[in-house]
Structure 1
Amino acid sequence: MISDGMAEVLRSLGRSRGDEVMRASARVLAADGAAVALMVGNGHLAEPLWWTAGASARFEELQYTLGEGPGLDAIRIRTHVLEPDLEAVRPGRWPVLVPAARKAGVHGVCCYFLGVGGIRLGVLTVLNPQARKVTERQHEDALALAAGLTAALLGENPPETWPGEGETARERTMWASGGLYRPVVHQATGMISVQLDVPLAEALVRLRAHAYSTGRPLGEVARDVVARRLRFSNDVKGPYPADGAKG
């Protein structure tokens, strides 16, 4: 049986903004943060959609930039990936992500798959406080939240009213269909694919590698590519300032 607090969160789905739902969920789950990321394309990219500030935002950016982690695994294998203590993760599972996540103040992560049947939507990520085991009630609450988010994203439980007269049609659509915030990454991937004459998957790897090696967020590097401030080449020296070169 879920808690009264989670029952209230579930009643708010579709009537509250996504970031508000994440904050309320984190409070109920006594978590360090909560986030939802949606699958893009063939599942090699899980784009952050809603998150809480702080450690959750940093962790989502890390997974998005590095392209590895429990969120992507949950989407790929279509089941939940629970690692409440990152110190206990076997070496080599997420070799780049784990040390970076620990440095960012993330102690444990539970990722709940969002999807049904053959449909893969994304993942709900809950950050665990240090040295805290997940209780049965918290796990049940998280499972209920994942099911509720899946139904809401699929439009199976449309809200009676949308919040606020200022709510735009685009914002309403983003709740109902899970619209994405970072088309610039997809634009940049396409441009790099053309510049290097490589498949899109390889272009995304190149983009991520440059972001990681320079310590910059993936979206920031992508904006430089789209604005033609950065151009990729097959030169061993890697990407270089474009100086107005056409992409």
Structure 2
Amino acid sequence: MISDLMARTLPLLRRQAGTLDLHALPEAGRRALGVDSLAVSLLTDTGQCELIWCSGTLGHRFEDLELVLGEGPGNEAAAGGRPVLVPDLARTRSDRWPVLAAESAALPVLAVFCFPLGVGAIHVGALTTVRRTCGPLTGAQAGDARVLAAALTSLCLAEPDRDARAQPAEEPPALLRAVVHQATGMLSVQLDVPLPEALARLRAHAYASGHAVGAVSRSIVDHHLHLDQNEP
């Protein structure tokens, strides 16, 4: 059984034109799931998580950190097809996400709950929710989250070409990581390295400089930042 609020929210996820409309989710997240921010990511053909929607800056900062570091509960849920529930991020085993454990301490994110989008062996992405307080989800909240993840999976699988992208709750634009892909391609050509290595170097520079990966990518695309062969 799901809550009345979630039952009212699910029919609002699709616009008449067929695109995803997730603007009703922030309130449902706060009231039904008891979390402060939600994010929806889809897996690309290369196995990377593509953030397509996020409510609030808190969730966006956590998603950006996962992208920069290449590890975290959202990535694990999307790739493994299993929920990853972290009621106290500070008490996570240090060897599970070693870098994230240290870097996330700077964010006011104390609990993270990630639910995979997918059916069986088909992995589509992940629903990630973050909270400013520690503690597990209640049974009702976890049930609502699973139903929401199943609904999002159905909507995503109904669009095999995935042109029906969700619109973000706030900036940046609809395909939040487009600039990252563009910068990765530019680095691949400039440094004469494969795309995975170019993305790794982009992440490493963002991590070392303390800047968001999106900001670093924009600087590269705008030709304000140039990485050389000697940078890690």
Q: Is the 8 A contact 1:184 1:223 kept in 2?
A: yes
What residue is the counterpart of 2:30 in the other structure? 26
What residue is the counterpart of 2:179 in the other structure? 184
Shift of 1:146: 0.2
SS of match in other structure, 1:231 = coil
For residues 51-70 of structure 1, what are the structure 2 equivalents within 5 Å?
51-70=54-73
Larger deviation: 115-124 or 195-204?
115-124
Larger Rg: 1
Q: Does 1:143 align with 2:172?
A: no
Residue from 102, 118, 132 that aligns with 1:99: 102
Q: Is the 8 A contact 1:185 1:219 kept in 2?
A: yes
Shift of 1:73: 1.0
SS of match in other structure, 2:165 = helix
Structure 2: how far apart are the matches of 1:2 and 1:128? Answer: 21
What residue is the counterpart of 2:219 in the other structure? 224
Stretches of structure 2 lacking an aligned partner (at least 5 in a row): 168-173
What residue is the counterpart of 1:17 in the other structure? 21
Rate the CA distance shift 1:37–1:22 in 2: closer, same or farther, 3 A.
farther
TM-score, normalising length from structure 1?
Answer: 0.81
Structure 2: how far apart are the matches of 1:200 and 1:97? Answer: 23
Output the amino acid matched with 1:69.
G
Structure 2: how far apart are the matches of 1:128 and 1:219? Answer: 23
Structure 2: how far apart are the matches of 1:57 and 1:191? Answer: 24
SS of match in other structure, 1:49 = strand
Output the amino acid matched with 1:147.
A
Shift of 1:140: 0.6
TM-score, normalising length from structure 2?
Answer: 0.85
Q: Does 1:214 align with 2:217?
A: no
What residue is the counterpart of 1:161 in the other structure? none
Q: Per chain length, whose mean CA-contact separation is higher, i.e. which structure has more relative contact order (CA < 8 Å, sep 6+)?
A: 2
Between the two proteins, the alignment pairs up a number of residues equal to 219
Give per-residue Cα distances to partners, 1:29-56, cap 9 Å, x unaligned. 111221112223322x322221221421
Q: Is the 8 A contact 1:81 1:111 kept in 2?
A: yes
What residue is the counterpart of 1:174 in the other structure? 165
Percent of matched pairs sharing the same residue: 45
Q: Is the 8 A contact 1:23 1:34 kept in 2?
A: no
Shift of 1:232: 2.2
Shift of 1:120: 2.4
Q: Does 1:4 align with 2:4?
A: yes
